[in-house]
Amino acid sequence: MAVDYQPIYLLASGMLLQERKLGVTTNNLANTDTPSFKRDLITAMSFYSTEGRRINGSDPHLPSNNFVYPIIGELSTDFTQGSLRRTGNTFDLAIEGEGFFAVRTADGIMFTRRGDLRFDIDGFLVDPNGFRILDRGMNEIMIPPGEVDIDEEGNIYVDGVLQATIGVWFLEGPVKEGRDLFTGVPRPSENYKIRQGFLEMSNVNGVEEMVRLIELTRAHEIYSRLIQAMDEVQGRVNTLVR
């Protein structure tokens, strides 16, 4: 008797979906304390085969050969602002409201909300990755020695003299590139304030993510057990037929 793989493939697709969700959730948890980290979200979709019936002789690996096949929809980012934590450090900057800092990378200009800044060996203002922060004209920012004050608009004063203005940009269609960086179509942001001596924290709720992790782990175990049970049933059926 031929083995009916259809139920196993349906259950396996559900198990693989839980694995992908587990990966996203564990990554969120790992970045609970990462400044400005934006948590990832994953969606799922149901694929319905043509006319809701199986086509005889078709490859069971294909989604179109199933009644209902769960598939991954898309990975998106939650841009909700994280809480602001006071540090008192001169070059810790938090964006309150809309916007991103622009940085120059080897792959071109990208954007970040991470504001624990420092100076590089050449005296340019850089982010934790070493990428140089850009001003409103997309120029790199060099700050001379002296007492530094940065106001809510991003104007940088050294000993009371204006040196540069940090660019803050609103992104249309932002896409996450790695952990801290984003791409998109920039335009000058208007609804923001720069908070000197503060850091924006991660918007991940550790308790919620931990609960989600437990739920996903249990769901994955259930799918695994169902697959094993289905395999055992098929084996017994084949034995009886022989």
Evaluate whether 123 touches 99 at the Cβ level (below 8 Å): no
Owning domain of residue 96: 84-200
Model pLDDT, residue 1? 39
Model pLDDT, residue 224? 76
210 within a domain of the structure (yes/no): no
Q: Which amino acid is at 46?
A: S
142 within a domain of the structure (yes/no): yes
CB atoms within 10 A of CB 119: 13
Tell me the C-alpha to C-alpha distance, in Å, between residue 130 and each of 83, 140, 167, 195. Answer: 24, 12, 17, 21
**Average of per-residue pLDDT across 115-134:** 94
Do residue 104 and residue 190 come from a single domain? yes
- Residue 70 binned pLDDT confidence (cut-offs 50, 70, 90): low
Do residue 97 and residue 187 come from a single domain? yes
Model pLDDT, residue 66? 52
- Give yes or no for residue 9 having a pLDDT over 80: no
Evaluate whether 164 touches 143 at the Cβ level (below 8 Å): yes
Residues 6+ apart with CB under 8 A from 101: 93, 95, 111, 112, 113, 114, 115, 127, 133, 134, 166, 167, 168, 169
Rg for the chain, CA atoms, rounded: 26
Number of domains composing the chain: 2
Token representation of residue 34:
């990462």
Give the residue with greater pLDDT, 12 vs 129: 129
208 within a domain of the structure (yes/no): no
**Alpha-carbon span 43 to 39, nearest angstrom:** 14
Do residue 182 and residue 164 come from a single domain? yes
Which tens digits make up the pLDDT trace of 13-69? 777 778 888 889 999 999 999 999 999 988 776 665 555 454 455 555 555 555 556
Model pLDDT, residue 71? 67
